[in-house]
Structure 1
Amino acid sequence: MESTNKLLRIADVSRITTLAKSTIWLKVSQNQFPKPTKLSASITVWKESDVWKWIDDHFQTSASLAKGDFN
């Protein structure tokens, strides 16, 4: 995926990752998902490139575990 500087709201992140909004927030709190940036009291965003990197990293890890590559 081409890296961009586009900013995504929670609904966009949910659509791209197919994760529920509550799951995204849980993963953020557990340091398992990129931290968002607060633009204002009511606006929180993620960099699109961070979300796509998380997806790429997540699938690389999943593929390694499926093959039994635990190193």
Structure 2
Amino acid sequence: MKTHEPAIFKAADVARELNVSEMTIARMVKRGTLPKPIKLGVRLTGWPREQILKWINDAFETANGKSD
């Protein structure tokens, strides 16, 4: 059975992908090391899934000394 990947990642989703806490996600956004989420509603923010996956890939490439 195929699992459904959300188009938008909430903070909990990003935290799970990075294996960190939601508080760490908030600190990363505040420091500018993680892109700011987009406002989706009055009380809802999130990141486009592809943006987070690209950010993770770019971080791995940077850590391994590779760049475009």
TM range (shorter): 0.7 to 0.9
Q: Give the corresponding residue for 1:8.
A: 9
**Mapped contact 1:5–1:49 kept (Cα < 8 A):** no
Stretches of 4+ moved more than 3 A in 1? none
In structure 1, runs of 5+ residues without a counterpart are none
Q: CA RMSD in A?
A: 2.0
TM-score normalised by structure 2 residue count: 0.78
Identity of matched residues, %: 32
Q: Give the corresponding residue for 2:20.
A: 19
**What is the CA-CA distance between 1:43 and the residue it aligns to?**
0.7
- C-alpha distance after superposition, 1:43-70 (max 9, x if no partner): 1111101110110111111112xxxx8x
In structure 2, runs of 5+ residues without a counterpart are none
Where relative contact order (Cα < 8 A, 6+ residues apart) is larger, the structure is 1
Count of residues paired in the alignment: 62
- Counterparts of 2:49 and 2:35 in 1: how far apart (Å)? 10
**What is the CA-CA distance between 1:41 and the residue it aligns to?**
2.7
TM-score normalised by structure 1 residue count: 0.75
SS of corresponding position for 1:46:
strand
